[in-house]
Amino acid sequence: MKTVAKKEFKDLLTEKTFILAIIIQLFIASFSTFLVIGLTSFYDPTALGNVDFEGVNIGVVGTHDDELYNILIENNVHTYLYNDFIPAYGDFFDRKIDAIIVTPLGTAEGTDLLNVDIYLPKSEIKATVISLQLKESLEEYEQSVRDVRTQRLPGYSPIEFNIIKRGVHASSTFFEFVYVALLPLLVFTPAFISGGLIIDFITEEYERKTMDLLLASPASLLEIISGKAILAILIVPLQSFVWMLLLSMNRISISHSLQILLIVTLIASVLVFSSTIIAVFFKDRGVAQLLYSLMLIFLFMSSYLFTNSPLNLVTRLSIDSITAIESWTWTGIYLLLALFLYLATMLVIKKDPHNI
């Protein structure tokens, strides 16, 4: 068993495929940082240093006493007042202003719906920036109209809470993107890859007809396959560890990192044993890989459905949002699952007709 694992490890290094796998992950990581930067710039425009927000001018078609116009001024939006749409459009076209707002005709005291028309430059990144700038003012405007109008609703009492902010500023979108999406995906990617790798390890021996040669050696089928599986599982925590290290170098602190590594290893075992069963059962690479991918999607989709799915568990552990009892209970559940699949794998191999 050890020798098989050693042989596979040597093969893995000499074929340079392992290095390719690392490069793939680096690629994914660089894409992720692209996403992070993209997302922060969407939700927190000040994070994007090189776009000049001061330069965004907004034309307002309306009158001096329009409530919306006054709210915009209060919020330090650079506005120009027009009394007609056409001159505003001319200035928009000549890039003197970047958006046009047509204020509604009615007032809060009236009963009609109030329509605000916003004209944004098509296919320009400024459109996003402007929308973000305007959202706050528009919501304020909506709130002030609602303050008047919701009094007409029977039995409605508005909920009012003051959120007292401390010095720390953090957008929940960014925080949740890092800990809910990025971190779990990165630490589990090696496990996903290993699941596919073991299928190649096994089906290759069948398709090249070298399995019979291996079986002629003193090693049994069980030993051969266990050797391959152990290797596939062991390389996972190593890679995940590197990811976590890289993340913490980017000042993303991760709590309970050892327990996270343990969970990743357990999930890697679940995936590797499952795909071992698939590979031994079907022996054809195409079919096995397809089934594995489908299984992966199924598992991924299912983890949306319950709290403490492996990905959610990693998230909660990393930000210290789970009690020790709860987290170890679930770690235990995944351990049992891995053990169960290990036994199932042994059974499938023993029952396999190729087993001499």
Partner 1 sequence: MPGWLTIAKWELMRSKLKFDARSIIMLIISLILVIAASYAASQTGMSMNQKIYLVAFSQPDVQPIIQTDQRFDYMLVDRYEATVYYEYGADMAIIGNNVYLGDTRKAASAGDALENTFKEYREIVLSSYNDINNTHPVWVTVHDLERPQDFQLAGATNTLDELSRGYNRTAGLDNVPGGREATSGTGSVRTGSSTISPEDIEALDAMQGKTFFERQTIATPSNFNPPVPFTAILYAFLFIFPIYFVSQFYSTSLMDERTNRKGELVLIAPLKSRDVVIGKTVPYLVITMAIQAAITLYILKMPSTLADVERVILILAAILPVILLFFALSFYSAILSRSFKELTFASVFLSVVISGYLFFPAMFANIHAISSISPITLIVRLIEGESVPMNTYLFSTLPFYLVAGAVYAFGTSIFREEDLFTQKSIGSKIIDCFEMFLSYRYGSVFFLSIIFIPVVYMTQLMLIVMLFNLPVPYSILAMIILSALAEEIVKSIGIYTLFKRKISEITFKNAIRLSILSGAGFFVGEKAVAVLTLAPIASSAFGTVMTMGALLLVPLLLHVTTIIISSLVMYWKGPDAYKYAVVAATIFHTIYNMTILRGLLF
Task: Report the nearest approach of partner 1 to the CB of residue 159 (Å).
Answer: 6
**15/332 with CB nearer partner 1:** 15
Token pair 């609602």 in the structure block, residue: 146
**55/218 with CB nearer partner 1:** 55
Task: Report the nearest approach of partner 1 to the CB of residue 252 (Å).
Answer: 10
**164/216 with CB nearer partner 1:** 164
Partnered with residue 82 across adjacent β-strands are 61
Kindly list the distances between the CA atom of residue 170 and the CA atoms of 104, 167, 178, in Å, as whole numbers in the listed order: 34, 10, 12
**108/339 with CB nearer partner 1:** 108
Token pair 């005709």 in the structure block, residue: 105
Task: Report the nearest approach of partner 1 to the CB of residue 343 (Å).
Answer: 21
Task: Report the nearest approach of partner 1 to the CB of residue 268 (Å).
Answer: 17
Task: Report the nearest approach of partner 1 to the CB of residue 14 (Å).
Answer: 11
d(CA 226, CA 243): 27
Among residues 29, 344, 7, 39, which one has the least CA distance to residue 186? 29
Tally of CB atoms within 10 A around 303: 15
Task: Report the nearest approach of partner 1 to the CB of residue 217 (Å).
Answer: 20
Task: Report the nearest approach of partner 1 to the CB of residue 220 (Å).
Answer: 23
Token pair 């994914």 in the structure block, residue: 28
What does residue 76 show for φ and ψ, rounded to 5 degrees? 60, 35
The CA-based diameter of the chain, rounded to the nearest angstrom, is: 92
Overall residue count recorded for the chain in this entry: 356
d(CA 296, CA 192): 8
Tally of CB atoms within 10 A around 16: 10
Q: Mapping DSSP to helix (H, G, I), strand (E, B) and coil, where does residue 100 land?
A: strand
Kindly list the distances between the CA atom of residue 301 and the CA atoms of 176, 234, 298, in Å, as whole numbers in the listed order: 19, 26, 5
**133/265 with CB nearer partner 1:** 133
Query: DSSP characters for 290-316?
Result: HHHHHHHHHHHHHTTTSTT-HHHHHHH
Tokens of 286: 């195409």
Task: Report the nearest approach of partner 1 to the CB of residue 115 (Å).
Answer: 5
d(CA 288, CA 199): 7
**300/342 with CB nearer partner 1:** 300
**3/302 with CB nearer partner 1:** 302
d(CA 132, CA 53): 11
**322/349 with CB nearer partner 1:** 322
Task: Report the nearest approach of partner 1 to the CB of residue 86 (Å).
Answer: 6
**135/350 with CB nearer partner 1:** 135
Tell me the angle at which helices 285-302 and 183-207 cross, rounded to the nearest 10 degrees: 160
**248/307 with CB nearer partner 1:** 307
Partnered with residue 280 across adjacent β-strands are none
Task: Report the nearest approach of partner 1 to the CB of residue 310 (Å).
Answer: 9
Tokens of 283: 């022996």
